[in-house]
Amino acid sequence: MSGLPINRLAERRGDEAWLNREFANPRSRVMVVSEGRVLVCGQGREARLADLPPDLRQESHYQALLGKLESDTWFVASVSKATAENLASEQGARLRGLRSIVADLEGPLAGLAAYARGLDLWQSNHRFCGRCGTRCEIDQAGFRMVCQNPDCGRVHFPRLDPAVIVAVGYRGSILLGRQPSWPPGRYSTLAGFVEPGESLEDAVRREVAEESGVVVGHLSYHSSQPWPFPSSLMVGFIGEAVRTDIRLDDELEDARWFAPLELQQLVRSGEIILPFKASVSWHLIADFMASRHQLDISSWGGGVWQR
């Protein structure tokens, strides 16, 4: 997976004069978030991130400096719901949840929205110090939350929850499962959170065994992806099963071994829907099929889960 090609300008995070000047600069871009949603103009391929107009920046304050993407310096600002709704009607924009926009926005902008939303969520969940309960203030251009109790003063840093996701193979077939809450027919690679005391490999083997009963032997790292739902870093692996009997727990509604041509036929007919293309699970399945079977899943068409 390609990362987000942004210069995070970390060296500027403590430079208040520069930050205030750049935030007010009409050439800077200011993404708007409100109550966990992002203001977006247009739809489908026309979608783009809406901007906070320079006159409104006086009344607002940046929430975080995101960095420089190509020639633009990007901030994110949080505004009230009323302000966001006014902006939405002026700009013909809409507040949208991140899940609904990552598939619409062009490459780096989807990553940028995910990055901003990840910081926004972390800040909103750390308004109070986890040690003493006193209010925290945003510091370092959004990258630290500092407890305002002089007897505590703990500095909180953005946190991520590592999660693992794996394409498990056996004699050319691939193991996919589905959760009961998913749209009908949607299947994906198995995933789960890493627990304290575990390596990533331990977590893969435990999750697959718990959810499907399958025992995984050899594993190799594939790629990783920020997954701000709410604050995960997905670490992708490709593994090989050493025991293949399926025994479901209550997390998955179904898990199955799919032979490659069977999966191709089920996707083409729309009976099986694969994860959306920006996701690490799609890339795991795509690489599995390409490297082992010379099959290009992007040509399968049919059901690709979009939302």
Nearer to Zn ion, 60 or 140 (CB): 140
**Is residue 62 within 8 Å of residue 19, measured between CB atoms?**
yes
**Helices and strands (H and E) in the chain: how many:** 8, 16
Rule CB under 5 A: choose which of 56, 152, 215, 248 binds Zn ion: 152
Q: Give least dist CB 119 to Zn ion, A.
A: 20
Q: Give least dist CB 126 to Zn ion, A.
A: 11
| Residue 149 interacting with Zn ion (CB under 5 A) | yes
Please identify which residue in the block is written with the tokens 């998913």.
Answer: 182
Site residues for Zn ion, 117-146, by CB under 5 A, read: 129, 131-132, 134
Nearer to Zn ion, 149 or 244 (CB): 149
Q: Give least dist CB 152 to Zn ion, A.
A: 3
Q: Give least dist CB 37 to Zn ion, A.
A: 29
3-state DSSP assignment of residue 293? helix
Distance CA 22, CA 25 (A): 5
Q: Give least dist CB 62 to Zn ion, A.
A: 24
The H or E element containing residue 273 is: none
280-293 and 260-268 helices, crossing angle to 10°: 130
Nearer to Zn ion, 100 or 148 (CB): 148
Nearer to Zn ion, 97 or 153 (CB): 153
Distance CA 220, CA 72 (A): 37
Nearest of 6, 5, 4, 66 to residue 30 by alpha carbon: 66
Size of the site for Zn ion (CB under 5 A): 8
Give the footprint of Zn ion on this chain (CB under 5 A): 129, 131-132, 134, 147, 149, 152, 154
